[in-house]
Amino acid sequence: MKRILVIGGNGQLGHCLQKLAPKYHVQFDFNFTGSDVVDITNKVQIEQMFQDYQPDYVINASAYTAVDLAEKEEDKAFAINAEGVGQLAESCKDHHAILIHVSTDYVFDGETNLNYSEDDFTNPIGVYGASKRKGEELALEHNPETVILRTSWLYSEFNKNFVKTMLHLFDVKDELGIVADQYGQPTNANNLAEAIMTIIESEKKTYGVYHFSNYPETTWFDFASKIKEFSGSGVLLKPISTEEFPTPAKRPKRSTMCLDKIEKDYHVELKHWENSLRDCVEILKITNA
């Protein structure tokens, strides 16, 4: 049986992979580790885990994801998102494991009206994006058998994310201003977990950078409006501009990604973001999470 090691197993994506794992119990053994067991910045812990578990695949679901705080914690963001990823990739190479590493649309500056393809020029405008771009480079440099999945606007029923924040705010506010001039592709992290498993299951592997998200593009305002509709909330939503909602880290204005490559190479199923959002809101309504 092939072994899959998940680094960052307690994060949002980690939880979605945990939820999916039982479906694959015949083909794969999974080992989910939190930062308390394997800290990606700790080479000794990584090496020990490789020796003990001998994974065939490593999914890196760990990351420093605090986009705004990263502006003040550059060293920490780079240690986790860049150097740690490089070390992990090195161990993958040494132990002949395939690495599936997750990255972000924030490697782009967002100054375009076109959908970014995998080969397009990256130019992050914040520390988080810069640290993730460095992680991509180091992963591919240290282990050519790496699949990098850039994703965007990730949410799920687990952990902290935009959908859960909105649902909470809908309960406590009568009116909310939501940014309406930033464009991106919301992604249900459960769909990302499914895409990762499709890649792992695929007999013919091609490596390098891939884009995966739900489609098509939308704005934060339209995203929030659908959350409102699906939840049945009576909150009043007002479109506002980026200037009216200043944040420590700048966000790309339009970081929408072309999804053709992953569909063509891996036959990954692409889903409309509204359908995937509806699924998530339904789960959250039932579980009250």
Ligand X SMILES: NC(=O)c1ccc[n+]([C@@H]2O[C@H](COP(=O)([O-])OP(=O)(O)OC[C@H]3O[C@@H](n4cnc5c(N)ncnc54)[C@H](OP(=O)(O)O)[C@@H]3O)[C@@H](O)[C@H]2O)c1
Residue closer to ligand X by CB (options 64, 234) is: 64
Least distance between ligand X and beta carbon 255 (Å): 9
Which one is catalytic: 53, 57, 106, 128? 128
Instruction: Say what angle helices 273-287 and 220-231 make with each other, to 10 degrees.
Output: 50
CB of 236 to ligand X, least distance (A): 25
- Rounded CA gap, 65 and 48, in Å? 26
Choice between 204 and 208, CB closer to ligand X: 208
Is residue 106 flagged as an active site residue?
A: no
Instruction: Encode 26-43: b = buried (16+ Cβ within 10 Å), e = exposed.
Output: eebebbbbebeebbbbee
In the complex, the smallest distance separating the C-beta of residue 135 from ligand X, rounded to whole angstroms, is 8
**Continuous H helices in 63-155:** 74-78, 84-94, 127-142
Which distant-in-sequence residues (6+ apart) come within 8 Å of 27 by Cβ? 1, 2, 201
Instruction: Give 148 or 237: the residue with its C-beta nearer to ligand X.
Output: 148
CB of 203 to ligand X, least distance (A): 26
| List of residues contacting ligand X (CB under 6 A) | 7-8, 10-14, 34-35, 39-41, 61-65, 80, 102, 104, 132, 151-154, 159
34 or 177: whose CB is closer to ligand X? 34
What residue is closest to ligand X based on CB?
11
Annotated catalytic sites, by residue? 128
